[in-house]
Amino acid sequence: MEKNIYIIKTQEVFDAIVVGSGIAGGWAAKELTEKGLKTLLVERGRPVEHRKDYIGEGLKAWQMPFRGSVEKALVDEQHYVQKKCYAFNDATKHFFGNDKDFPYSTPKDKPFDWIRGNQLGGKSLLWHRQSYRWSDHDFNSNARDGEGVDWPIRYKDIEQWYDKVELHAGISGSKENLEILPDSQFLPPFEMNPVEKEMKARIEKKWSTRKLIIGRTAHLSVPASHHLAQGRLQCQARNECQKGCSFGAYFSTQSSTLPSALATNNLSIATNSIVHSVIYDPKTNRATGVRVIDAETLETREYFAKVIFLCASTLGTTQIMLNSVSESFPTGIANSSGALGHYLMDHLYGAGAMGRVEGFEEDYYSGRRPIGLIMPRFRDYNEKNPNFKRGYFYMAGAQRASWEQLGTGDGFGAEFKANIRQPGPWYFNLSGSGEMLPRYENQVSLHPTLKDKWGMPQLHIECSFSDNDWKMMEDIADTAANMLEAIGLKDVKKDIRAKRDWHPGLSIHEMGTARMGKDPKTSVLNGWNQAHDVPNLFVTDGACMTSSASQNPSLTYMALTARAADYAVQQLKLGKI
Amino acid sequence: MNLPALPSGSDGVSRRAALKQLALACGLALSASSLSALAASFSAPTDFSRSKKTLLTAKQLELVRALGDIIIPATDTPGAVAAGVHDFINHYTAYCASSAEQQQLLATLARIESAAHDEFKTAFTALTNAQQLQLLNAMEQAQNGFSQADRKGLKQLKALVVFGYYTSEPGATQELAYLAIPGGYKGNFKLKEIGRAWALNF
């Protein structure tokens, strides 16, 4: 990366400003620069360069003083929220936000765990990379049962954009011809192990409505030539993903969208630049730029452009919009509807079941596969829901017990040691990912008095699971346990972890606080991710989502971003924005 | 007993070698000068300047060492002592355990010591191996005057030994099988091809 792409102060009026450099921001930068727009990518965190700054990569457990654990004092002081994320450890902690620097408030009885990645590349360095298309069942859901507002788009509107982003990013998976989970443009699927194949056979024999298939993931199982040209290589199954991957084997801003954007010579990057607000000109009814606070010096500066893309993460983007107040928009830019900040959703994780599989003692696997299996949604699709709205899919997988489980057994000495040397019994698990309804009362607002160290008003987050959410989690656990019993597993145990320690936010699929919709009176964005109120302002991260479906949302952010960028450039050329 | 070696990241030369290895694995043609630039700009994680606080007294450390040897002895591969598990526990609990967990561990050590004195009128480390096993088995089964709380305490100690051992270099690479770069996932792999479990996750 050349030094001069990084800027701090400039009088240049760019064609486009993209706020945030994660999964959505990277795509916005790539698409806008490739269409010839001089684009400034604004990132609140520090630069992270591919390969060079993956400081935890390749570290073995024994090369870390606490074997991947982080000191309690450091966690207590700086990472008290981030520590709850499964991927937080000694080799990845520098890619998470520092909770001390990024405070937010919640009511005492409504905890929300906000997981953040504040650096160039954002959470694209941290995501779990499962990549699924949404179907018309998902885009129709609000219209079907009347919760939330109807999506302004349908599957056919986004289909070609899924094609486009999948080919570039590289999504592995199996072609299944399922209406509920449309196929992507696939690289070859990762392999199932023999127990997973057996579980698939047993389940599909009993239920024609339930399929068990390999998960779909943004990993190069077998790279195509254009991936090799990006400098990306085949996944080595190291399980180093969240430490950063020098092979570029998984999709991240650094491995995939940023190199393309840089190759155009149209990209500039301003890091350590915390966007305070969007600058609005009431005379033209246009956003003209962004006000920025320097992360290190606390100085303020401004950047200007003809079109603004907000891709600062669902809650980050909403915080900026709420803070962009003017006479025209006293409650936040583009908020004539009053919907801004409301309808916060996450996915319902933390419920499922597992059981022991007898036999298969000679079978094992090699490598740390970056994806499990899934069972696409069946509950409100081809099976009836008992007592709740919407549905869920299962994540699944079979593994043999390792020292982590066997080491809890009784006994001492050579026999104890010998028992752990051999892999233990096989276990198969089903774990749900449920759709959370869009509810007005799940909302974020600016705290009236509390500010962070840069003077930004803190977000106040009020979000909790509803009765519908809890009923669904009960069904996720019960249905999983019944299914495992029915296919002959032993010691079946179900669990709803969400009853103990899984709060909204921890699934890291927060969505919906600047939703799309047909009606400017009830939604913030139109069908092109364009603010109803301010035509040159676009929001393409998770804030735009109108419902949450049950699938992981990132692939949809990519497709919506590419589509919105194409539309914005057309409108710009037509002189309409 | 020494702690496991520090990573190559603390040393520019071996970092460069590691980068070169990685670059070769990636099929990248990196020139000598770009490698130097990479190595020079590579900042070692701050983790490795951590000081070496300890939790245990010399006597307690000696007891943990003895317990490690009983739980995971040397066989055809090194055991917990050779892997430095007792030193690891000494540092790990000082930095990563809560004060309640620290107190629990110290109470467990005291309980083992007092049981040895009550039953055999001597220190645990002075007992024969058979006596030590007799005592620990009773404690693990919550029998012969040991409570469920004693069993829980012993389980915590064993968990620390197991964690320390199987994440150590000998535990992960000699006792178990370890592949830094597996080269992809194989679902049809047979156990007999390696004959032992993978050291998972790292």
pLDDT at B31 over 70: no
pLDDT of residue A260: 97
Interface A-B, measured as beta-carbon pairs within 8 A, has a size of 204
pLDDT-based confidence at residue A314 (cuts at 50, 70, 90): very high
Mean pLDDT over each residue of chain A, to the nearest integer:
97
3-state SS assignment for residue A207: coil
Q: Where are the beta strands (DSSP E) in A483-565?
A: 490-496, 537-539
State mean pLDDT over A74-96: 96
Q: CB contact, 8 Å: A570 with chain B?
A: no
pLDDT of residue A530: 98
Choose from A78, A366, A369, A402 for mutation: most chain B CBs within 10 A. Answer: A366
A193-243 confidence digits (pLDDT tens): 999 999 999 999 999 999 999 999 999 999 999 999 989 999 999 999 999
Residue in chain A nearest B92 by alpha carbon: A66
List the structure tokens of B63: 């007891």
Mean pLDDT over each residue of chain B, to the nearest integer:
82
Q: CB contact, 8 Å: A207 with chain B?
A: no
List the structure tokens of A452: 């962070």
pLDDT of residue A395: 98
pLDDT at B3 over 50: no
A93-149 confidence digits (pLDDT tens): 999 999 999 999 999 999 999 999 999 999 999 999 999 999 999 999 999 999 999
State mean pLDDT over B180-201: 93
pLDDT-based confidence at residue A244 (cuts at 50, 70, 90): very high
B95-118 confidence digits (pLDDT tens): 999 999 999 999 999 999 999 999
pLDDT-based confidence at residue B51 (cuts at 50, 70, 90): low
A404-413 confidence digits (pLDDT tens): 999 999 999 9
Cβ neighbours of residue A100 closer than 8 Å, sequence gap 6 or more:
A77, A78
Q: Are B90 and B54 in contact (CB under 8 A)?
A: yes
B112 closest CA partner among B75, B71, B84: B71
Residue B5: burial class (beta carbons within 10 Å; 0-12, 13-18, 19+): exposed
Chain A residues within 8 A of B95 when measuring between CB atoms: 65-66, 71-73
Number of other CB atoms surrounding residue A210 within 10 Å: 18
Cβ neighbours of residue A76 closer than 8 Å, sequence gap 6 or more:
none
A509, A514, A519, A522: CA torsion to nearest 10:
100
Q: Is B86 left (phi over 0), alpha (psi -120 to 50) or beta?
A: alpha
Chain B residues within 8 A of A227 when measuring between CB atoms: none
Q: CB contact, 8 Å: A236 with chain B?
A: yes
pLDDT at A191 over 60: yes
Q: Are A552 and A131 in contact (CB under 8 A)?
A: yes
pLDDT at B49 over 50: no
The interface residues of chain A toward chain B in range 171-190, judged by CB-CB distance below 8 A, are: 190
CA distance B133 to chain A (A): 8
pLDDT at A251 over 80: yes
Listing DSSP states for B62-82 in one string gives HHHHHHHHHHS--SSS--TTT
> Helices (DSSP H) in A366-500: which residue ranges?
403-406, 413-421, 467-486
Q: Which residue has the higher pLDDT, B16 or A289?
A: A289
pLDDT at B26 over 70: no
Q: Round to whole Å and give the CA distance between B19 and B29.
A: 12
pLDDT of residue A44: 97
pLDDT at B21 over 60: no
pLDDT at A278 over 90: yes
pLDDT of residue A82: 97
A421-476 confidence digits (pLDDT tens): 999 999 999 999 999 999 999 999 999 999 999 999 999 999 999 999 999 999 99
Cβ neighbours of residue A236 closer than 8 Å, sequence gap 6 or more:
A247, A249, A367, B25, B181, B182, B183, B184
pLDDT-based confidence at residue B200 (cuts at 50, 70, 90): confident
Chain B residues within 8 A of A426 when measuring between CB atoms: none
Q: CB contact, 8 Å: A47 with chain B?
A: no
A324-379 confidence digits (pLDDT tens): 999 999 999 999 999 999 999 999 999 999 999 999 999 999 999 999 999 999 99
A395 closest CA partner among A220, A213, A137: A213
Q: Round to whole Å and give the CA distance between A363 and A355.
A: 18
Choose from A60, A191, A416 for mutation: most chain B CBs within 10 A. Answer: A60
Q: Round to whole Å and give the CA distance between A231 and A243.
A: 18
pLDDT of residue B43: 40
Report the percentage of chain A scoring pLDDT > 70. 99
pLDDT of residue B50: 66
Chain A residues within 8 A of B157 when measuring between CB atoms: none
Instruction: Tally the residues of chain B.
Output: 202
pLDDT-based confidence at residue B4 (cuts at 50, 70, 90): very low
**C-alpha pair distances (Å), A378 with each of A99, A506, A555:** 38, 24, 21
b/e A116-131 (16+ beta carbons within 10 angstroms → b): bbbbbbbbbbbbbbbb
pLDDT of residue A557: 98
pLDDT at B66 over 80: yes
pLDDT of residue B202: 56
pLDDT at B25 over 60: no
Choose from B15, B95, B185 for mutation: most chain A CBs within 10 A. Answer: B185
Do the Cβ atoms of A366 and B176 come within 8 Å? no
A153-163 confidence digits (pLDDT tens): 999 999 999 99
ipTM for the complex shown: 0.94
**C-alpha pair distances (Å), B13 with each of B7, B17, B18, B35, B42:** 12, 6, 9, 11, 12
Do the Cβ atoms of B158 and A407 come within 8 Å? yes
pLDDT of residue B23: 42
A554, A555, A556, A562: CA torsion to nearest 10:
110
Residue B15: burial class (beta carbons within 10 Å; 0-12, 13-18, 19+): buried
pLDDT-based confidence at residue B52 (cuts at 50, 70, 90): confident
Chain A residues within 8 A of B166 when measuring between CB atoms: 403, 407, 420
Q: Which residue has the higher pLDDT, B45 or B126?
A: B126
Do the Cβ atoms of A60 and B43 come within 8 Å? no
3-state SS assignment for residue A493: strand
pLDDT of residue A174: 98
Predicted model pTM = 0.93
Do the Cβ atoms of B183 and A94 come within 8 Å? no
Taking the CA of residue A131 as centre, how many other CA atoms within 13 Å lie in the half-sphere pointing to its CB?
34
3-state SS assignment for residue A105: strand
Least CB-CB distance to B185: which of A56, A190, A410?
A190
Do the Cβ atoms of B47 and A67 come within 8 Å? no
